[in-house]
Homo-oligomer: A and B are copies of this chain.
Amino acid sequence: MKIGVDIISGERDPLELVEGALEAVAEEKDITVVLIGPKETYQQILEKLQHRKRYPSHVLERIDFLHAAEVVTMEDDPLNVMKQKKDASIYVGLRAHKEKQIDAFFSPGNTGAIVVAAALILGRVKGVKKPALATFMPNIEGKANILLDVGASAQCEAQDYVKFCVMGEIYSREMLGVEKPRIGLLNIGEEEHKGTQEMKGVYKTLKELPLNFIGNVEGGDIFGTKADVIVCDGYIGNIALKTAEGAAKAISKLLKSAIKRRLLALLGLPLYMGAIAELKEKTDPERYGGAPLLGVNGNVYIGHGASGKDAIRYGIKAAARAVRHEVLAKIHTELEDFHLV
């Protein structure tokens, strides 16, 4: 299978991204990675890599390239940039996916631009009005829950939540191996009558689904073991995601300074740093490989702008797993089976 990787839209050195791609290819025998970006950038990377000669030929043979003359920046307006930069890597990648030259597309670029373009170029899955960006959130057991939408669709209606449930459920099952994922609705209290009038209506609708809907959950449950999939609109989800990231960063910083101030700190520091590093790895959403954009007619993964080597490596592996497990086809089928198209 072929996984397209946008090497030019992120914030890091494209060389790092290519190294991540090489590692993924080395680890997964059935994939070829198609790097997407400007020819000149690719040539420069090739030169640098030749001096290193670290990668065996069976790996290098499974690296392909697709030229994209332009780049969408993080500052570009998602709604207008598509007309202005037709040949940007995001669009080249999505068109290649549409034409089945690649089986999945990963980009660490402008989220809004990718969401808009994916819906336009690939179209949406039948029955889905709004796509959802899903993300893995670490839980207190060191495993992960799925939170969606975290930023693709800011305002949603009950029927959009229904689709989020179906897509999230499939994703949890196929990507994390959860047998019968428990789905919770993110709200400001557990009881059915909690939240706005709108949320009460959503609750009622989700209760009727032939899924394992467990009712309302609260912000803290994102990291708990009560629900495997947590659904919300993209506005709430984005704020929850960034709040969680911010809290983690603040805690890590405060903890480090608390440790440094203590007697014996020098003695104990390596120990904590090891533990903090382990924690960081465990709570790093990137190890689950970026955020899939569910509901569009394709396998699209959006990474952080700061995605480096590991993020790309994990992203490619996650995309490959989604292709192998036929997540997209299963979303189609399940929506039809539930008469939701």
Binding site for B on A (CB under 8 A): 77, 138-140, 142, 151, 154-155, 186, 188, 193, 195-196, 218-224, 232, 234-236, 238-255, 257-259, 262, 264-265, 267-268, 271-272, 274-276, 278-279, 282-283
What's the Cα separation between A235 and B186 when bound, in Å? 11
Minimum CB–CB distance from A31 to chain B (whole Å) comes to 31
With A188-B151, A244-B243, A268-B271 as known contacts, state yes or no: A250 contacts B219, CB within 8 Å: no
With A271-B262, A272-B272 as known contacts, state yes or no: A155 contacts B196, CB within 8 Å: yes
Query: Is the pair B235, A188 in contact by a Cβ cutoff of 8 Å?
Result: yes
Hey, which chain B residues are within 8 Å of A236, CB to CB? 235-236, 239
Residue of B nearest to A240 (CB): B243
Residue of B nearest to A244 (CB): B247
Hey, which chain B residues are within 8 Å of A154, CB to CB? 188, 195-196
Query: Is the pair B264, A279 in contact by a Cβ cutoff of 8 Å?
Result: no
Query: Is the pair A140, B249 in contact by a Cβ cutoff of 8 Å?
Result: yes
Query: Is the pair B262, A279 in contact by a Cβ cutoff of 8 Å?
Result: no
How many copies of the polypeptide does the oligomer hold?
2
Minimum CB–CB distance from A335 to chain B (whole Å) comes to 26
With A155-B196, A188-B154, A247-B223 as known contacts, state yes or no: A271 contacts B242, CB within 8 Å: no
Hey, which chain B residues are within 8 Å of A139, CB to CB? 250
With A258-B278, A268-B268, A275-B259 as known contacts, state yes or no: A223 contacts B239, CB within 8 Å: no
Query: Is the pair B220, A245 in contact by a Cβ cutoff of 8 Å?
Result: yes
Query: Is the pair B258, A241 in contact by a Cβ cutoff of 8 Å?
Result: no
What's the Cα separation between A235 and B252 when bound, in Å? 27
Residue of B nearest to A232 (CB): B239
- Chain B CB count within 10 A is highest, among A240, A254, A259, A279, for A254
Hey, which chain B residues are within 8 Å of A258, CB to CB? 275-276, 278-279, 282
Query: Is the pair A254, B239 in contact by a Cβ cutoff of 8 Å?
Result: no
13 pairs of residues in contact across A and B, judged by CB atoms under 8 Å: A140-B253, A188-B234, A188-B238, A218-B239, A218-B242, A220-B242, A240-B240, A247-B247, A248-B251, A255-B255, A258-B279, A262-B274, A272-B272
For the complex with contacts A77-B193, A255-B275, A264-B271, 17 further pairs of A-B residues with Cβ separation under 8 Å are A138-B254, A155-B196, A218-B242, A219-B243, A224-B250, A236-B236, A239-B240, A240-B240, A244-B244, A251-B252, A251-B279, A254-B279, A258-B275, A259-B271, A262-B274, A268-B268, A268-B272
Query: Is the pair A246, B264 in contact by a Cβ cutoff of 8 Å?
Result: no
